[in-house]
A and B are shown apart, each in its own frame.
Chain A
C-alpha cells in the first residue's frame, strides 16, 4: 500500500529531519508511529499525506510514484486516505454534521445521498446527539471524535492520526483507541502517531519508532 525507500527530508537549508527512512505499510495493518517530541512524526505523516515532498528517496503510494503525481492526482489520492489532525481542524461555522460530511461534499456528492451515512457514523463515534452544534460548543474529546468521523466518512483505505489522544483524558483515549482498532478490523490500515506509551501497551500493534530522524521497528 505504502512504501518509503531511503527517504530524506530537510526544511530549506537546515539539517535533515528524516534520514534514510525505509518502511512499508501493508493493506489492513495497524501500526503505532512513536518517538520523542520533535523526532519528526508529524513530518513523516505529512510525507505520507503528500503535503510535503521528500528531498531524496522514493515514496510509492497505492502503487503510484508520489513524485510523478500532478495536483489533481494528489487530490484524488488523498480521498483514499483519512487524516486526523492533532488540532482537529474543524470549521467553526459548520455544525458537527456538516464538518463530518465535508469530504463527501467536496467530492460533488448530493447531500441526500450521504445524509443517512453521516448520521450513522456520528452515532457510531458517540456524537449522535451533538450533530447540530457548532465546534466551539464541543468538548475536546467531542471535537476529536468529530475529526475522526470526518477522516472516516469517505471510507479511506489508510487512516493517519496525529496524536489523536493528545488532548483527551485516559478513559476517552482508551475509547478512541478501541475505535481505531475496530476500524482496522473492518479493513482499514491505521497509522497512529503517539508518544503515549500507556496507550501503546494496550494493543499489540506494530511499532515504528523515530529517533534522531531515523526510523526503527520495535517488535
Chain B
C-alpha cells in the first residue's frame, strides 16, 4: 500500500519531457547569432537597394516635371513682349500645365549669391526665365515647343534638363544594378553560411540522431523533430536580425524630423529626407526572415537525412 502511494507521488514529480533536440547549447546559440547577423546584413542591403531605387525615381520625376524657357534680351526687341509671346507659346503647347515668368525681383534673388544684394539689375542685360510646369499625365510636346519658340520668339531657348536627367538616370540605374548584384551575393552568402552553420549544429547532435535511429524511430520522425527545432531557431534568429534592420531604418526615418529642430539641421534633413523605408522595403525584410528560416529548416532536414544514410 505504502509503496503504491509512493509511486503515485513519484508519477506526479516527473518534469515535462525535455525537447529531444537540446535547446540551449553552445552550437545552437552560435547558430542563432550567425542567422541573426546574416539576416541583419541581408535586410540592410534589401532596404538600401529599395531606398536608392525610390530616391532615384523621385529625383528623376521631380526634375523632368519642370522645364525652363530662357529669354535673352536682344537689341531692338522689347524683352517684355518676347516674354509674353513665350508664355503664350508655352500655354498652347499640349502637355503643359502652367507657364509663369519670373519677375525681375525673383531673377535678382536667384543672382544674389553671386552678385550680392542691393545691386541695380536694371542696368544689366539679364536673361529672364519662364518656369514651365508639365502636366502630370499627358506626354508634353517639348520638341514642338522648342520649334515654336525658335520660330516665334527672338532670343528664347528651352532647357528641359534632359541631359542632367539622362546622366542621373545612368548613375541611379548603375547604383540600383550594383545594389541588386550586392544583394544577390549577400543572399548567396547568407544561404551558404546559414546552411553550413545548421549542418554544424546538426552534426553536434549526431549522437541523438543515432540513438533515435537505433531505438526504432522512423526517419520521418527524426527529420521532422530536427526540422521543427531548426525552424524555430531560424525564425528566432531571422526575427532578431530583421527587427534590428527594420528598427535602424525606422530611426533613420525619424532623424530628419529631429534634425529640423537644430540649427543647420534643415539641410541635413533635406539630404536624409528620402531615407524612410516604404511598405515594400519592410516586406522585403520580412521576405529575408522567411527565406532564412526556410533555408535553416531545409539544411537541417538534408543534413539529418544524410546522417541517417551514413549511419546505415
Say whether A119 contacts B11, CB under 8 Å: yes
State the interface size on chain A (CB cutoff 8 A). Answer: 37
B11-A75 in contact (CB<8A): no
Question: Are A78 and B215 touching (Cβ within 8 A)?
Answer: yes
Check if A91 is an interface residue, CB within 8 A of chain B.
yes
Interface set, chain B 213-233, CB cutoff 8 A to A: 213-221
Partner of B208, one of A85, A91, A101: A91
Which residue on chain A has the smallest CB distance to residue B24? A93
Residue B120 is within 8 A (CB to CB) of chain A in the complex: no
Secondary structure dominating the interface of B: helix
Q: Tell me the residues in window 1-53 of chain B with beta carbons closer than 8 Å to chain A beta carbons.
A: 7, 10-11, 13-15, 17-18, 20, 22
Chain B: residues with Cβ within 8 Å of the partner, total of 26
**Given A75-B219, A131-B10, A132-B13: A93 and B18 interface contact (C-beta under 8 Å):** yes
Known: A95-B15, A102-B211, A150-B215. A51 touches B312 (CB 8 A): yes
Contact of B219 among A72, A93, A103, A120 (CB under 8 A): A72
Tell me, in angstroms, the Cα distance from A84 to B213 when the chains sit together.
14
| 9-residue interface stretch from A15-23, A104-112, A183-191, A211-219 | A104-112
CA–CA, A95 and B17, complex, Å: 9
Residues of B within 8 A of A91 (CB): 207-208, 211
Q: Which residue of B lies closest to A102 (CB)?
A: B215
Task: Please give the residue numbers on chain B whose beta carbons come within 8 Å of chain A beta carbons, in ascending order.
Answer: 7, 10-11, 13-15, 17-18, 20, 22, 207-208, 210-221, 311-312
Chain A interface (Cβ < 8 Å from any Cβ of B) = 49, 51, 53, 71-72, 75-79, 83, 85, 89, 91, 93-95, 97-98, 101-103, 105-108, 111, 115-116, 119-120, 123, 128, 131-132, 150, 154
Q: Please, could you name 8 A-B residue pairs with CB atoms under 8 Å apart, sorted by A?
A: A75-B219, A79-B216, A98-B17, A106-B217, A106-B221, A111-B14, A123-B7, A131-B10
